[in-house]
Amino acid sequence: MLYIFHLLSHLLYSLFSLQCPRSPTTPPSYPLAVRNPYLSAWLPGDRVQHLPSASPQFWTGQELTWSVIVRVDGQAYSLMGVDEHGDVQLPAAVVQHADFTATQSTFRLSTGRLSWTLAFLSPVSPANHLRQSLPFSYLTVTVHGSANEIQIYTDIDGRWTGRAGDSDRALHYNDRDALAVYSLFLKNRDNLTYAEDSDMALWGEAVLAARSSAGSTVSFASGPVTAVRTQFVAGGRLTDTDLPWAGDEGVVGLAHDLGAVKGSRSVTFAVGYVREKAINYLGEAYTGYYRARYPSTAEAVAFFLDDYDEARSEAKRLDEQLARKATAAAGSKYAEILALSTRQAYGGIDLTIPEATRDTNDVLAFIKELSSDGNINTVDVIMPAFPIYYVLDPEYIRLLLEPVLRYLAAGRWRHPYVIHDLGAHYPNATGHDDQNAEPMPVEESGNLLILVLAHARATGDPHWAWQYTDLLRRYADYLVANGLNIPFQLSSNDAAGPLANETNLAIKAAVGLRAFGTLFGEEKYSRIASQYARSLFDHGLATDPSHSHFVLQYPHKPASWKIPYNLYPDVLLGLHTFPPDAYRMTRDFFSSSSSSSSSSSSSSAVRGPYGVPLDHRQDWAKSDWNMWLAATFGPGDAQTQFVDDLWSFMTNGKHSWPFSDRYLARGRRAGLPVLCRARPTVGGHFAILAWDGPGSLSHKEL
């Protein structure tokens, strides 16, 4: 069945691709509405053939109701999300084609002689803070063909507000200036500010909105799903009434009545999740940037709907440029990897201003460590993701690090090394005054120094970094003292456990020192960096005796290895801490021993069926670090091999989570993801594209 579907979609692909480039791959999960950690709705790839009855999921896997029903000359059809065993039984549309770009997932279906497109657009517009910060996503339903009477309906249920099973929900309907807005929220949310249930926000409200126009009046209804949908199916419009709420069976629905259609017509709905108090930054509420201009939800969603044409044309330019540049950089498989990574990378971020002042000169960005523990502004999440910021808008490095630097500069973190994160759980960026953040001393100190240089280089403006000179020098001094003879500690890959003298950390320390020395013109640090690099590489402290590869750990562990991905910023930022021979050695080691057979028991088999694992002890690989390493190699077979392996994982049809950055590269269960899903660290996949230069896909370039 799946195979036939693939054949069909390939066939259709070849037809469509004559006009515009399309991606024929089935991803593990399609982003539908993915804008921030609490607006993150996906359609698992294995459900797409059954789209008319398939429900989307929140990124963590909770089921959500989001349906689309259409009516053609009195006959209703389900296009999405109508349970085929439910009370409302409808003929299902036939799924014809599915594809995705960086900003949009599109499904084409047919009902008799009409065809339909469902386009789910989540804008990615980092430099346009207003557009980027709006916590809404577009669903545009287009009918192609002619009929005397067309009506289009969509609904969402109470589970969008978290706490499935809790019947205590309230709703608010607002209808002014032809704008229909439903807000849906937990009744006793007042004492739930900043609280989550299984990663869903319990405060704030889910929003469904649409606008009436000259050609169509929007009708509305809420209540038990069967009653609301039956109104539409029977009469083509809703009764503009709210029936008593029905717990998990309750939906809010909106319907457009287009009347006669000739050719093609579209209607657009907005779906969102609004938190007025978005983030708790050190006790102060931060709200979405957009609230400076549009302080109420109704105003914000009205602007969002009005902005559709411009948002869509910007999205189209981004999709096309990204596809073109990524293909030129590393082929069409690489372009598909980046297309699937883009919304997810920005979907981990909120862009905010202080709620009290709404001062747009005080913009801060917050990022959630999705899946692993929910930490906020984790420095070693910003680090792997930074290539996407470097490419799309390097200011995000500053926006994400500024909240951390303010906290460090205030002296509330007393350790001599950089803090791991700004709070144990999103959205509480309340720091760790108890001094108990997860300790990754060399990791985070190196990360901060490198990121600060990356920002200065990419923007051409070192002034932000210069404000923190003394603070940063303290961390450089820490690396001088602890960067070569490294005490037992964790690195970013905490699942692999702590080690002393981990080579990849030592590389990070040397590169970090060099970054500091370069940025501040303090020769001493650059000299020490070179000295450390000479010990590690030239003198062989961190290689095997024959200089074939970097070891996992030194001294005296010649058979061990780990991918030394921390070389990447050394090359990207032109720091030359390590000589080209170090990169060449690494490239040769990771491309020489290929084991495409499944018997990967030989210890020399570095590459499994889905690529190279993190180190010799693991079966699992990290997609972000693998792309960093591939970018370090430069163009060529080794890089292509890494890209092919990640693409094979992404498209193997064995899993259906939002893009996982951690998966088994070898072993019995090769090709399956492990723990991590929907993480913004997929921004690291842009490492190869970053070679095009900073801001190469920025607003200015589109």
Ligand X SMILES: *[C@@H]1O[C@H](CO)[C@@H](O)[C@H](O)[C@H]1NC(C)=O
- Answer for the pair 336, 650: CB distance below 8 angstroms, yes or no: yes
Stretch that binds ligand X, among 73-81, 191-199, 406-414, 564-572 (CB under 6 A): 191-199
CB of 287 to ligand X, least distance (A): 16
x/- binding map, residues 548-587, to ligand X, per CB under 6 A? ------xx--------------------------------
196 binds ligand X (CB under 6 A): yes
Task: Give, to the nearest 10 degrees, the angle between helix 332-346 and helix 379-392.
Answer: 120
CB of 107 to ligand X, least distance (A): 33
| Dihedral angle over CA of 16, 22, 28, 32, nearest 10 | -90
Nearer to ligand X, 136 or 554 (CB): 554
CB of 428 to ligand X, least distance (A): 4
Per the structure block, which two tokens stand in for 150?
A: 């067309």
Strand 57-58 to strand 29-36: parallel, antiparallel, or no bridges (unpaired)?
Answer: unpaired
Stretch that binds ligand X, among 23-31, 167-175, 189-197, 458-466 (CB under 6 A): 189-197
CB of 284 to ligand X, least distance (A): 12
500 binds ligand X (CB under 6 A): yes
CB of 33 to ligand X, least distance (A): 21
Per the structure block, which two tokens stand in for 122?
A: 């989540």
In angstroms, the CA 126 to CA 386 distance is: 13
Per the structure block, which two tokens stand in for 639?
A: 């890089």
Q: Which of 191, 596, 597, 604 binds ligand X (CB under 6 A)?
A: 191
Nearer to ligand X, 15 or 559 (CB): 559
198 binds ligand X (CB under 6 A): no
Alpha-helix residue ranges (DSSP H) falling in 210-307 = 225-235, 297-306
167 binds ligand X (CB under 6 A): no
Q: ω into residue 569 within 30 of 0, thus cis?
A: no
Nearer to ligand X, 253 or 446 (CB): 446
CB of 194 to ligand X, least distance (A): 4
- Answer for the pair 118, 80: CB distance below 8 angstroms, yes or no: yes
Which of positions 507-546 make contact with ligand X (CB under 6 A)?
Answer: 541
Three-state secondary structure readout of 571-596: HHCCCCCCCHHHHHHHHHHHHHCECC
484 binds ligand X (CB under 6 A): yes
CB of 419 to ligand X, least distance (A): 18
Alpha-helix residue ranges (DSSP H) falling in 37-81 = none
Alpha-helix residue ranges (DSSP H) falling in 573-654 = 580-592, 623-633, 637-650
* Sign, Cα dihedral of 402, 407, 409, 413: negative
194 binds ligand X (CB under 6 A): yes
188 binds ligand X (CB under 6 A): yes
Nearer to ligand X, 268 or 378 (CB): 378
Nearer to ligand X, 6 or 616 (CB): 616
In angstroms, the CA 450 to CA 114 distance is: 55
599 binds ligand X (CB under 6 A): no
Site residue total, ligand X (CB under 6 A): 14
Residue labelled with tokens 């709905």: 269
97 binds ligand X (CB under 6 A): no
Nearer to ligand X, 22 or 425 (CB): 425
In angstroms, the CA 483 to CA 506 distance is: 6
Nearer to ligand X, 295 or 555 (CB): 555
Q: Cα 652 vs. chain centroid, distance in angstroms?
A: 20
Residues 6+ apart with CB under 8 A from 191: none
Task: Give, to the nearest 10 degrees, the angle between helix 469-482 and helix 395-409.
Answer: 80
Nearer to ligand X, 484 or 670 (CB): 484
38 binds ligand X (CB under 6 A): no
Residues 6+ apart with CB under 8 A from 413: 407, 419, 431, 432, 435, 437
Q: Which of 287, 501, 504, 586 binds ligand X (CB under 6 A)?
A: 501
Stretch that binds ligand X, among 92-100, 190-198, 241-249, 630-638 (CB under 6 A): 190-198
Nearer to ligand X, 541 or 702 (CB): 541
- Answer for the pair 349, 367: CB distance below 8 angstroms, yes or no: yes
Nearer to ligand X, 243 or 480 (CB): 480
CB of 579 to ligand X, least distance (A): 20
User: How many CA atoms lie less than 13 Å away from 91 in the CB half-sphere?
Assistant: 13
Q: Which of 127, 164, 170, 195 binds ligand X (CB under 6 A)?
A: 195
- Answer for the pair 233, 90: CB distance below 8 angstroms, yes or no: yes
CB of 348 to ligand X, least distance (A): 15
CB of 541 to ligand X, least distance (A): 6
Q: Cα 525 vs. chain centroid, distance in angstroms?
A: 35
Nearer to ligand X, 187 or 293 (CB): 187
CB of 523 to ligand X, least distance (A): 23
In angstroms, the CA 38 to CA 305 distance is: 20
- Answer for the pair 423, 373: CB distance below 8 angstroms, yes or no: no
CB of 296 to ligand X, least distance (A): 24
CB of 417 to ligand X, least distance (A): 18
Q: Which of 19, 361, 485, 546 binds ligand X (CB under 6 A)?
A: 485
Nearer to ligand X, 105 or 501 (CB): 501
Nearer to ligand X, 3 or 488 (CB): 488
CA–CA distances in Å: residue 268 to residues 55, 213, 216, 228, 649: 20, 11, 11, 20, 34
CB of 226 to ligand X, least distance (A): 30
Nearer to ligand X, 498 or 555 (CB): 555
Which of positions 396-455 make contact with ligand X (CB under 6 A)?
Answer: 425, 428
List contacts with ligand X (CB under 6 A): 188, 191, 194-196, 425, 428, 484-485, 500-501, 541, 554-555
